[in-house]
Amino acid sequence: MTQLDPQWIEKARHGDDEAFTMLVNTYQTPVYNLCYRMLGESTAAEDAAQETFWRAYQNLKRYDPQRSFATWLLSIAAHYCIDQQRKQKVGIFELDEYPDFDLADPGIPNPEAEVIDNDEDEALHRMINELNPPDRAAVILKYWYGCSEEEISQILSLTVSAVKSRLHRARRQMAAAIASKQSIPVKEG
């Protein structure tokens, strides 16, 4: 993940708005990506990412410089998205909204190759969205951000054993999703 010169963080902590805007510019994509993967919709993801930066701005004095700034931001974003999901209860992506995707046959030329990426993205959202929000956050942090179980435990305010348990459950659910719905078009290779 992109790292920023600590002097910008220090300047922002002392009330320099330009420095904080620099932080927003640097970390906008990792924060937005996390929100997008959690919420599955671009408008909600942008709102959540903006809210994450606003909360970070308001609580910057409480930030511990010994911690990674990126991890701190992701923690705010993950908690906000989990809260949003809990409030909504019903997920943004309902299973019925999407048609079933067949496994792609790599031997046959596919005239819809240009839209495959979108199909894959939607199918991925569908699979991820079946997980409960904290499990989803753990999976996203583990596989998209390469966070260790210790880092995930810090970000989500869980114990390491709770993170392991959540990841175990999430993997079982995802494997079951593939088995029952074949929701991910498998690529060759």
Partner 1 sequence: MEHQPYKTWILDEEDLSDDQQRRLNDHLAVCPECAQLSENLNSALVAIREAPEVTAPVGFTQRWSAALAARKREEEKQQARSLGIALGSTAIVIAVGMMLIFVPEVSLISMTAGLITTLVSVLDGMQTAVSFTTTLFKSLSPATLILLFGIAGGWLLLASFTLGLSVWKLAIKKVENK
Distance separating alpha carbons of residues 72 and 76, to the nearest angstrom: 6
Binding status of residue 29 toward partner 1 by CB under 8 A: yes
Q: Does 177 bind partner 1 (CB under 8 A)?
A: yes
Q: How far apart are CA 189 and CA 178, in angstroms?
A: 17
Q: Could you tell me how many residues of this chain bind partner 1 (CB under 8 A)?
A: 43
Q: Which pair of structure tokens corresponds to residue 121?
A: 């993205």
- Distance linking the first and last C-alpha atoms of the chain: 27
Positive or negative: CA dihedral 111, 114, 117, 120:
negative
**Applying CB under 8 A, does 19 fall inside the site for partner 1?**
no
Among 8, 9, 12, 32, binds partner 1 (CB under 8 A): 32
- Give the C-alpha separation, 74 to 90, whole Å: 23
Q: Which of 12, 19, 36, 70 binds partner 1 (CB under 8 A)?
A: 36
Q: If binding is defined by CB under 8 A, does position 14 make contact with partner 1?
A: no
- Residues 57-76 within binding reach of partner 1 (CB under 8 A): 57
Tell me: does residue 172 bind partner 1 (CB under 8 A): yes
Looking at 8, 9, 37, 163, which residue binds partner 1 (CB under 8 A)?
37
48 binds partner 1 per the rule CB under 8 A:
no
Binding range to partner 1, per CB under 8 A, among 8-16, 48-56, 78-86, 106-114? 48-56
Q: In 26-179, at which residue ranges do the beta strands (DSSP E only) sit?
A: none
Cα–Cα distance between 42 and 46 in angstroms, integer? Answer: 6
Determine the interface stretch with partner 1 among 65-73, 75-83, 136-144, 154-162 (rule: CB under 8 A).
136-144
Furthest CA-CA distance within the chain: 60
Is 93 an interacting residue with respect to partner 1 (CB under 8 A)? no
The answer for residues whose C-beta is within 8 angstroms of residue 93's C-beta and 6 or more apart is: 40, 41, 122, 125, 126, 129
Q: Site residues (CB under 8 A) for partner 1?
A: 17, 21, 24-25, 28-33, 36-37, 42, 45-46, 49-50, 53-54, 57, 120-121, 123-124, 127-128, 139, 143-144, 164, 167-168, 171-172, 174-179, 184, 186-187
